[in-house]
Structure 1
């Protein structure tokens, strides 16, 4: 039986481990993430990663998939099975099947290269928030058809764990839908609940927000938001607390 991982760092400054055989990427991420106050250690491969993890105190691993020797997917599965820190996979293989494989192996997020340090930072922050929040707070959100809303961070993740950007207005409207699924909501109700009773927005603004949400909530041929003629809109999927 494999030995458990050492306890993670108790300090408020998170310790990130970047594992990539490309020295340029390691340096770039270490510098950029370091400017946001994180402690960053790098490793050029899985063997070096294991040595760093054995010393303890790592809160999150950013792991490249395609590396010489043991690849990132195999290493990710091993980390998850051994109860290691959460993993963000980076890969030049970005099609749907590759992402599904990575997530099924236990990765928390899967990002396709090239991706910006800013995008990686957003995923790091989201993961660390979930790690540090009390269990009750970590469940402060909604889930529907594989999608997940985090009410604390105002983030939406698609069924593959990819962060989907929503404006504040779009998130507010989606929250109203998630709180009242399978009910016909008039435009006035949506405006009042999403913007407040003193809002100077108008019906057309809600139509625009709903149109944008529909484009972002892609679920094959399914339309998650149904238009009810002469009445308003209905959020179709079953919603659960997450």
Structure 2
């Protein structure tokens, strides 16, 4: 995360919302760029350092959730907070499936928005300031401080912020049965009525991504009890982190 004012990209097709949200975020000591479509949002990522994205589902042609997906496909890994319409749980579920880290129902309480942005950025701050720690499993190298998972060929495994936090929780508690409330606590996700569903969605996405590169899901479902990371995990010394033999 940038060490000066956090730079927030707000994407909304509604001009009045762009003005009001940008103004409030600026008052709260955020540097804010507001754009009206996903194409412009992608250009901003190419030209600037962005710390978090706030995205309205009403964006552009009405497919704001798809804008979230496009940003993830372009390699955007910073937290994405999605505005969803009228408390419809389907919007939240779709948003989480497509890569959002958090969702807020419209009409948006601006104080709550600021609190959620700061909560997501605090997670990254703590990871930046922690003692460096790395873990290896199934040929993958998880670097907590760099917030990066590396494949055997040296390329990065693309994970959203929420997926990465969940993987860290599993790897650090490998072999232990973790309930959904425990996973919510370990990943510091906000407790809501659909929190359990949120964790299930993240687990499903993470399983698919891990299976695609290792041919193993690594995460078992415990009937009526949550989940368990079943693969062997080894702590890796920083000096050995770049060695293929360590994975």
Give TM-score scaled by structure 2 length: 0.54
1:159 and 2:152 matched: no
Match of 1:148, SS state, is helix
1:64 and 2:56 matched: yes
How far, CA to CA, are the matches of 1:26 and 1:105 in structure 2?
A: 23
Q: Using a 3 Å threshold, how does the CA distance of structure 1 residues 89 and 154 change in structure 2: closer, same or farther?
A: closer
Structure 1's unaligned 5+ residue stretches are: 1-8, 163-235
| From 140, 144, 151, the counterpart of 2:179 | 144
CA drift of 1:124 comes to 0.3
Q: Is the 8 Å Cα contact of residues 109 and 161 (structure 1) preserved in structure 2? A: no
CA drift of 1:83 comes to 2.3
How far, CA to CA, are the matches of 2:72 and 2:197 in structure 1?
A: 17
CA RMSD in angstroms, aligned pairs only:
3.2
Residues 94-105 of structure 1 aligned to structure 2 (within 5 Å) = 94-105=87-98
| From 109, 112, 121, the counterpart of 2:114 | 121
| From 96, 104, 112, the counterpart of 1:111 | 104
How far, CA to CA, are the matches of 2:186 and 2:191 in structure 1?
A: 6
**What is the aligned partner in structure 1 of residue 5 from structure 2?**
13
Q: Using a 3 Å threshold, how does the CA distance of structure 1 residues 117 and 80 change in structure 2: closer, same or farther?
A: same
Match of 2:69, SS state, is helix
Structure ID, larger Rg? 1
